[in-house]
Amino acid sequence: MSSQAPMIEMRNVDKRFGSVIAISDISMKVHRGEVMCLLGDNGAGKSTLIKTLSGVHKPSNGELLVDGKPADYQSPSDALDAGIATVFQDLAMIPLMSITRNFFMGREPTVGWGPFKRVDWKYADRVAMEEMGKIGIDVRDPSQPVGTLSGGERQCVAIARAVYFGAKVLILDEPTSALGVKQASVVLRYIAKARADGLAVIFITHNVHHAYPVADAFTLLKRGSSLGTFRKDEVSREEVLNMMAGGAELESLDAELSEFQRNEQHDDEITEGSLPASAAHGPQSSGARLATGY
Amino acid sequence: MSEATLNKDTGDERLQRVSPVKKTLSRPEFGAVSGAILVLAFFAVAASGTGMFSGSGIVNFLEVSAQLGIIAVAAALLMIGGEFDLSIGSMIGFAGILIAIPAVQFGWPLWAALLFAFSFAMAVGFVNGMLVVKTGLPSFIVTLGFLFILRGLAIGLPRLFANRTQIGGVHDTMAGDWLAPLFSGYVGTGLFQWLADIGLLATNFAGNPAVEGIPASVAWWVALTAMATWVLLGTRFGNWIFACGGDKNAARNVGVPVNTVKVSLFMFTAFSAAIYAALQVMDTGSADSMRGMLKELEAIIAVVIGGALLTGGYGSAIGASFGALIFGVVQMGIFYTGINTDWFQVFLGAMLLIAVLFNNYVRKKALEAK
Ligand SMILES: Nc1ncnc2c1ncn2[C@@H]1O[C@H](COP(=O)(O)OP(=O)(O)OP(=O)(O)O)[C@@H](O)[C@H]1O
Ligand SMILES: [Mg+2]
């Protein structure tokens, strides 16, 4: 893995919007077959970072390399052509358009030639249905406007679309925020499969149960800067949880909760009981080590 | 995932069968088509025996509808793409002048004058579009600017070159020109002669068919409607038009070349205005600075009656065409029945309001449940 050039690399990338510095001096490498999880508070700059990768924003400074070659994308369509598919946080869906039209928006399959080249809507309908079926959503009618879907169904259309078109890099910005347990696990399985297929995956989430099982490495953003990248074997689940929320807040929350629920098993409130009992007290012990980063 | 496969064979229990009637009701052009049938039925009774529905009467109201229809179809694509063009009306006057001055004053062959006017019009459309996409200003404001600029030029240029605001004598330049027949005369004259010969079509005193053929404007109208519908529903570009109007950021983020789409649509409205101008100049033999006044608003009304949303992302070219047909039928119907023409504007305004209310309702329905 390390002998090859990283699939995607950022070198000292800045992005400013007028006087707002959204991200500054970000360097990050994601190799093929690797899942990088981006962590950080709201407004930390995660979405801005991935938008510079997917061609939505041009970096104000710094360099982007894809497959070892400098990438200077003028628009998201260039990034898509290079095999970088993204599930945006706002999903990039058009409510009044059908599932199929949204699924293939910008990448419509055509048949025929010259002036008679037309979109093969039949084929498109079938693929959209199939791909949605794979993610666990049984589409009633592919001509249904996306605006009439539930929030989670809509998210699934965006994910299925990115998975279908992502050839080299798959970027997912909080893809599981609205998903049911079943669909979320399918998405995690997708990520694992993309990794196995040799794609580089960048995954943003606020849910440690989604992040920890699939990620190979975690990059922590805070107020637009990177606090470093941690390999999975260097950090425990609790440390990741700590990184996501800032250790201090969780500790005080933990204390408050135990105050309120003295008689109940309060340890499970945050860790949802999915951790071994010994680890459930992790935040106190391991928080200190990471705290230097803040 | 097992349920998903289960449902495939048994059909989906959450899906009620949508009746064909309801499917038709939710088409964007439904309002315009039924409106057109309504006004046709109304005048078939109210104007019976006035000649409105004789061969030449039909050609009359079709020609009126066709002129508006040509620009309405282009305006529909643009509105679906999320933008307006308020300079269409002025462009009609301006393009007419651009045909007449070179052809009559400079002595250019008519085809050269036509190519010049069409190129110039599309260049203006390009500038319109570039200003909108590059500045992010509302197209309403940008094209309002061009409404005045082009009208001013349409008045100023003929004054400068010919010392008047009307330039006649275009008919003389048409003879033998290879491009002129595209914008004048009739299509299918042979067929109509044959229909008259076998007695299916009335003939005049000289034994010629009462209707010579399909007027060029009507042929353009039908052709442009068919082409626009094909583009919207069948091609990638059509999907991009819907996407741009629905949400241009989302469209851009998934790789739709939003700017290219919008600029081409502005060029297409300018092109359609130039067609209108060419047809009118060759029909009347003259160009006039004041031609096309308020046509941009009529086009927008036709488009909205045709089921398009002012906010973009939804609509139909066929709908806009039928919107234009309603216009033509009512305008000529009022003329034939001898109703005071003052009432035409009252009717227009009322139609617009009804159409907007209806569309609003239909869109809500479309987004609620299907
Ligand atoms: N187009 C823009 N113009 C100005 N400021 C922006 C723009 N986009 C993002 N920002 C600013 O950059 C900062 C980072 O935003 P970003 O969306 O990247 O955060 P995030 O880490 O994705 O947060 P969340 O977890 O809430 O999604 C925010 O303070 C935001 O206001
Ligand atoms: Mg974000």
Q: B300-310: per-residue pLDDT in tens?
A: 999 998 989 88
Q: Is pLDDT at B250 greater than 80 in this prediction?
A: yes
Predicted confidence band at B360 (pLDDT cuts at 50, 70, 90)? confident
| Residues of B with Cβ-Cβ distance to A105 under 8 angstroms | 239-240, 243, 251, 254-256
| Residues of A with Cβ-Cβ distance to B251 under 8 angstroms | 92, 94, 105-106
pLDDT attached to residue A190:
87
Decide if A173 contacts A56 (C-beta within 8 A): no
Cα(A8)–Cα(A246) distance, integer angstroms = 28
Mean pLDDT in residue range A32-43: 91
Mean pLDDT in residue range B352-364: 77
Per-residue pLDDT tens over the stretch A124-166:
999 999 999 888 888 888 988 998 888 888 888 999 999 899 8
Name the residue facing A106 among B4, B255, B309 (closest C-beta). B255
Mean pLDDT in residue range B206-226: 88
pLDDT attached to residue B334:
86
β-pair type (A61-66, A69-70): antiparallel
Predicted confidence band at A287 (pLDDT cuts at 50, 70, 90)? very low
Per-residue pLDDT tens over the stretch B295-333:
999 999 999 989 898 889 999 999 999 999 998 998 898
pLDDT attached to residue A237:
82
Predicted confidence band at A3 (pLDDT cuts at 50, 70, 90)? low
Which ipTM score applies to this complex? 0.84
What residue owns the CA closest to ligand 1's atom 7?
Answer: A17
Per-residue pLDDT tens over the stretch B69-84:
999 999 999 999 999 9
Mean pLDDT in residue range A186-204: 90
Cα(A122)–Cα(A104) distance, integer angstroms = 12
CA A5 to chain B, closest CA, distance in angstroms equals 26
Per cent of chain A over pLDDT 90 is 46
Mean pLDDT in residue range B203-216: 79
Query: Does B370 contact A at CB distance below 8 Å?
Result: yes
Helix axes B342-368, B30-46, angle to 10 degrees: 150
Centre of ligand 2 to C-alpha A87, Å, is 11
Cα(A238)–Cα(A250) distance, integer angstroms = 11
Report the 3 state secondary structure along chain A: CCCCCCCEEEEEEEEEECCEEEEEEEEEEECCCEEEEEEECCCCCHHHHHHHHCCCCCCCEEEEEECCEECCCCCHHHHHHCCEEEECCCCCCCCCCEHHHHHCCCCCCEECCHHHCEECHHHHHHHHHHHHHHHCCCCCCCCCEHHHCCHHHHHHHHHHHHHHHCCCEEEEECCCCCCCHHHHHHHHHHHHHHHHCCCEEEEECCCHHHHHHHCCEEEEEECCEEEEEEEHHHCCHHHHHHHHHCHHHHHHHHHHHHHHCCCCCCCHHHHCCCCCCCHHHHHHHHHHHHHCCC
pLDDT attached to residue B208:
74
β-pair type (A34-40, A217-222): parallel
What's the whole-number average pLDDT of chain A?
Answer: 83
Per-residue pLDDT tens over the stretch A232-270:
888 888 887 877 765 555 556 666 667 766 655 544 444
Alpha-carbon distances of B34 from A59, A283, B281, B307, B314, rounded to whole Å: 53, 68, 33, 12, 19
Q: Is pLDDT at B365 greater than 50 in this prediction?
A: yes
What's the whole-number average pLDDT of chain B?
Answer: 88
pLDDT attached to residue A103:
95
Centre of ligand 2 to C-alpha A88, Å, is 8
B29 burial (CB, 10 Å; 0-12 / 13-18 / 19+) is buried
Write down all domains in chain B, each with its CATH number in brackets: 28-192+212-360 (1.10.3470)
Mean pLDDT in residue range A265-285: 43
Ligand of minimum distance to the alpha carbon of A221: 1
What residue owns the CA closest to ligand 1's atom 1?
Answer: A17
What residue owns the CA closest to ligand 1's atom 29?
Answer: A43
Predicted confidence band at B3 (pLDDT cuts at 50, 70, 90)? very low
Where is average pLDDT lowest: A25-34, A202-211, B220-229? A202-211
| Residues of A with Cβ-Cβ distance to B314 under 8 angstroms | 96
